[in-house]
Amino acid sequence: MTQPEWWRDAVVYQIYPRSFADLDGNTIGDLAGITSRVPYLAKLGVDAVWLSPFYPSALADGGYDVDDYRDVDPAIGTLAEFDELTAALHAAGIGVIVDIVPNHSSNRHAWFQEALASPKGSPARERYIFRDGVGPDCAPPSDWTGAFGGSAWEPVGDGQYYYHMFAPEQPDWNWDDPDVRAEFIKTLRFWADRGVDGFRIDVAAALAKDFSANPLPSAAELAALPAGPDHPLFDRDELDGIYAEWRAVFNEYDPPRFAVGEVWLEDKRRLARYATGESLGQAFNFDLLRADFRAADFRDIVTTNLDIAGIAGSSSTWVLSNHDVVRHASRYGLPLTTPGAPFVGQGPTWDRDRKWLLTGGTDPAQDVGLGLRRAKAATAFILALPGSTYLYQGEELGLREVADLPASARQDPSFFRNPGFEVGRDGCRVPLPWTACGPSFGFGPAGAHLPQPAWFAAYAVSVEDADRDSTLNWYRAALKLRKELLAAVGPFEWVDSPADTLHFRRGKWQCFTNFADDPVALPAGEVLLASSPVDGAVPGATTVWLG
Ligand code: NOJ
């Protein structure tokens, strides 16, 4: 990408490589498969792709357990194929963002293996977080649970435990250790030198930790502590130093490399510091992943996040789906939650997902038509906002969650570590349907690593490509029009509108969303785009762009 600020209003398309397209027929998507689909991405009109991890991994957590940060998993491709993909994307004018996973490595990483083979107190163990067991029974150093369930401490057999915020196969790095810092600088340069345009930083608020308290706080005490300088795990001040070093590396390149932090914080004001020009530059705003399709909630989220982006001198991000949550076409097909219902947080699936789980995954109350209708309305709404939009592979086809995967097919650690309680995230990671028939709907010649449902046939790219009114063609039209409209955009302003609707303008470009079920009057102006057919009035669950 040649423009330094390209990322500010970019549409970024997230690819989960193992589920995108499989060229070599090993049932796992690969880099060559993505390269073969660059024309599809170009026609869709995205500005950049973000590749979820493609590094060597035993897949204890879908690739977020990295064995080697500077290589490609042989099941997915080679470094040469990575270069080919980057070249093909760049030739199509599409930027490349890779995922950096700096909070933890995999337990197969050479340095973790070295740590296990080294004695207590050795420099090799210093790179991770090892602690002695406590008391006569050599109990874990605290009663903390990992994000996927179970203890956050794993014994290594010599009286010590290591800490893992996620699965036991994901030991946390010790960011106080200079080797660790230097290693990641090397990794950032490695990919930047290969031509990547930016980085998505996994668990960006958790790298700096303080385990000096003795005893460590209990799980209950930890839960009561707000993230921030006094929390041992999240959002500590020392992160500023880490990201300032990274920023210096990003700025060695022309244009400077871009970074977006995966930052989940309850206190939104703390988000701004990750998004400044001295730090990562942008921070994810995940609020819409936890919001129902309701005007008041959307309005609050927009106002807060535009403010935060302004404070940071950055741009906001807008996200409705990713590889960690139930697809929004399904979330929106469920009955609305009670307004103001408290957020229920537990594990990697959250309150909306919990609602899904309560239904057993195949809830007859899911209204498929309404879900997609609202999904498109919400997409048009966010595409009109100032900032950058992150799309997740398959949402452009209108895919909903595959909720009824058999237990035997599931791969997500959150499913295995929470029996009977969490179904996990596999339902949004099922390989894409490219054709209506043929093995694995055109995903690859030898089947798919997660089973695809029969209903995928109707959502296949080939089917939607040929249908003028498909979700895919609507996304293409929306992205094209957005680009044109952005060329002459004015300041963002809310416009007064009836209850349960939102209306804003950016100069001549207006966006109006009817969140209710019943139609409302169409505001004045020429209709440029509509998420559902508009005929004199704006039907329920519909967004229109007017000019
Ligand atoms: C956030 C990633 O998005 C998720 O998929 C992963 O499980 C955790 N971080 C741990 O790396």
User: Does pLDDT of 199 surpass 60?
Assistant: yes
> Which residue owns the Cα nearest ligand 1 atom 3?
324
| Phi, psi (rounded to 5 degrees) for 304 | -60, -45
Q: For 77, left (φ over 0), alpha (ψ -120 to 50), or beta?
A: left
CATH assignment, 6-103+178-479: 3.20.20.80
**Amino acid identity for residue 302 in this structure:** V
Work out the average pLDDT over 236-252. Answer: 98
Determine the Cα angle at 39 with ends 194 and 509, to 5°: 95
Determine the Cα angle at 472 with ends 468 and 473, to 5°: 35
What pLDDT is stored for residue 241 in this prediction? 98
User: Residue 148 CA: which ligand 1 atom is closest?
Assistant: 7
User: Does pLDDT of 343 surpass 50?
Assistant: no
CA atoms within 13 A on the CB side of 261: 31
Burial class from Cβ neighbours inside 10 Å (0-12, 13-18, 19+) for residue 473 reads: middle
Q: What kind of architecture, by CATH, is found in domain 110-163?
A: Alpha-Beta Complex (3.90)
User: Residue 425 CA: which ligand 1 atom is closest?
Assistant: 5
> Which residue owns the Cα nearest ligand 1 atom 5?
324
* Pocket test residue of 61, 170, 429 for ligand 1, highest count of atoms within 8 A of CB: 61
**pTM of the entire predicted model:** 0.96
Give the 3-state secondary structure of residue 504: strand
What pLDDT is stored for residue 273 in this prediction? 95
Pick the CATH number of 488-546 from 3.60.40.10, 3.90.105.10, 3.30.70.20, 2.60.40.1180: 2.60.40.1180
What pLDDT is stored for residue 340 in this prediction? 64
Count of CB atoms within 10 A of residue 324's CB?
21
Domain ranges across the chain: 6-103+178-479, 110-163, 488-546
Model confidence pLDDT, tens digit, residues 385-428: 999 999 999 999 999 999 888 889 999 988 888 777 677 889 99
The answer to whether the CB of 38 falls within 8 A of the CB of 52 is no
DSSP 8-state symbol, 466: T
The fraction of the chain above a pLDDT of 90, given in percent, is 85
Catalytic residue positions? 202, 252
What pLDDT is stored for residue 331 in this prediction? 85
Give which of 94, 288, 73 is closest to 196, Cα–Cα: 94
For residue 365, the CA-to-ligand 1 centroid distance in Å is 30
> Which residue owns the Cα nearest ligand 1 atom 11?
64
Q: Can you say how many angstroms the Cα of residue 300 is from the centroid of all Cα atoms in its chain?
A: 21
Helices 239-250 and 178-193 pack at an angle, to 10 degrees, of 30
User: Does pLDDT of 342 surpass 60?
Assistant: no
Which residues does a 6 A CB cutoff place in the pocket of ligand 1? 61-62, 64, 101, 166, 202-203, 262, 323-324
For residue 202, the CA-to-ligand 1 centroid distance in Å is 7
What pLDDT is stored for residue 243 in this prediction? 98
> Which residue owns the Cα nearest ligand 1 atom 2?
202
Model confidence pLDDT, tens digit, residues 4-53: 899 999 999 999 999 999 999 999 999 999 999 999 999 999 999 999 99
Is residue 346 very low, low, confident or very high in pLDDT (cuts 50, 70, 90)?
very low
Rounded Cα distance, 544 and 547, in Å? 10
The answer to whether the CB of 2 falls within 8 A of the CB of 38 is no
User: Does pLDDT of 360 surpass 50?
Assistant: no
